């Protein structure tokens, strides 16, 4: 009996730890049939920064990004959407990530999280509107000031 109870406990703890890893959540979201996954490396980002015009200007913090991974899902199944949303909420409360923005307005959810690490900081942006989801990971070396500026720029776009 103790072995069965211990096994269930291990499975439960494993699921909680898995759900809190945002990389795993992105991978799971990318498995949805209608998902599109895009990876942009530093060279492509630099080219985009150089080619931009005034009307289509990229945010300043993108110059420090090493890569961007985006998963976009239109018409996400409800069960997957709920699982990803629960994982984001769990990550916000876990202490492993710092919440930069967390907005919930009608059927829209916007969350911006950063990993708490010394050297590199990965930033995760999760946007859900109805059954559409955009989940982005920005990998780079961002300072606390960069994160503050990033939040300010994004909040201007929300208002």
Look at residues 35, 45, 47, 20 and name the one whose alpha carbon lies nearest to residue 138.
45
- Predicted local confidence at residue 45, as pLDDT: 77
- Predicted local confidence at residue 74, as pLDDT: 92
How many Cα atoms are found within 13 Å in the side-chain-facing hemisphere of 87? 23
Q: Enter the pTM of the model.
A: 0.75
pLDDT band, very low/low/confident/very high, at 3 (cuts 50, 70, 90): low
CA distance 76 to 25: 14
**CB 129 within 8 Å of CB 69:** no
Q: pLDDT digit string (tens) for 96-153? A: 888 888 888 888 888 888 887 666 678 899 999 988 999 999 988 877 777 777 777 7
- Predicted local confidence at residue 56, as pLDDT: 58
CA distance 120 to 143: 9
């Amino acid at each position: 009996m103790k072995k069965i109870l211990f096994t269930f406990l291990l499975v439960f703890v494993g699921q909680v730890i898995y759900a809190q890893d945002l990389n795993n959540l992105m991978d799971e979201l990318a498995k949805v049939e209608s998902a599109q996954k895009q990876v942009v490396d530093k060279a492509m980002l630099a080219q985009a920064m150089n080619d931009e015009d005034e009307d289509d200007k990229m945010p300043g913090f993108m110059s420090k990004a090493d890569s961007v991974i985006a998963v976009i899902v239109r018409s996400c199944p409800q069960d997957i959407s709920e699982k990803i949303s629960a994982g984001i909420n769990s990550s916000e409360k876990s202490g492993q990530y710092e919440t930069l923005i967390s907005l919930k307005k009608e059927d829209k959810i916007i969350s911006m999280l950063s990993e708490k690490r010394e050297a590199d900081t990965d930033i995760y942006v999760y946007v859900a509107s109805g059954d559409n989801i955009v989940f982005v990971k920005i990998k780079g070396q961002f300072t606390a000031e960069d994160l503050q500026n990033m939040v300010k720029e994004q909040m201007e776009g929300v208002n």
